[in-house]
Amino acid sequence: MKKTILFSIVAMAGLLFASCVKEDHAVNQRVTYYPVFDITGGNTVAWQLGDAWADPGYAATLNGEDVTSKVEVYSDLDTDAPGIYNIDYVFVNEDGFEGSVSRTVVVYDIANASDIDISGSYSKLTLIDAGADMSSRVPYTMTITPGPGAGLFYMQDLLCGYFSIGRGYGNAYAFYALIQLNKDNSIDLLQTKNAWPYAILDNGDSLYDPESGSVTVNWFWAGWGDDLTCVYAN
């Protein structure tokens, strides 16, 4: 008799435990919703240097409800300095989950931008380091591709591929650059990106030669402490 009672108590305890587990599991199931963003004007915007920023607009909905007023906007945008900036639109729902979208703003002198297209493949490269010709150490071909606005272009490597290809370091060591071609054929360095922690300065005398079709960029790299010239030609 005692054994039967003991078995019954244990069985009931097991059922109660199983019931609690199922109940807890059901309580922990919850549907959370993320925002849907609508960015007016596109995710990349060209902006005139010196003009005050006026956001083209954005909206956010959460499960069909307008939550635009609850969106936080974060940015490092400076319209008085040429460059590429990001604006982040962020919404956090009641469960603490974040949803976001970004807009890229390219700030440059649009009014002074040239309409000449210099994009293409260049097979004759010249690299000058403090007056010394290092062209024998660079590859044969580099490219210039269209950028995110009129007169803007991406250069494959400001160092003519010296590290990335010539030394075999890989693309992470290329000196990518966003340049602006101006109406007077001068070239401005708007942004550079590379794996080295050393400063890059625009020497201010880069240019495009419409007769030869060559692109010459003069700059200073703190990594070598030298003035450098990279010429893309054909």
Determine phi and psi for 73, rounding to 5 degrees: -115, 125
Report the C-alpha gap between 212 and 223 in whole angstroms.
Answer: 31
pLDDT digits (tens, 9 = 90+) for 99-121: 999 999 999 999 999 999 999 99
Report the C-alpha gap between 77 and 110 in whole angstroms.
Answer: 17
**Residue 221: pLDDT above 60?**
yes
Segment 26-44 shows an average pLDDT of: 86
Report the C-alpha gap between 42 and 19 in whole angstroms.
Answer: 53
Categorize the per-residue pLDDT at 208 as very low, low, confident or very high, splitting at 50, 70 and 90: very high
Report the C-alpha gap between 234 and 232 in whole angstroms.
Answer: 7
What letter would DSSP give residue 50? T
CA angle 105, 110, 115 (to 5 degrees): 120
The kind and range of the H/E element at 6 are helix 2-28
Report the C-alpha gap between 102 and 89 in whole angstroms.
Answer: 6
Q: What domains can you pick out in the chain, each with its CATH number?
A: 36-108 (2.60.40.10), 112-233 (2.40.128.120)
pTM for the whole structure = 0.77
Helix (H, G, I), strand (E, B) or coil at 151: coil
pLDDT digits (tens, 9 = 90+) for 145-166: 999 899 999 999 999 999 999 9
Report the C-alpha gap between 224 and 220 in whole angstroms.
Answer: 9
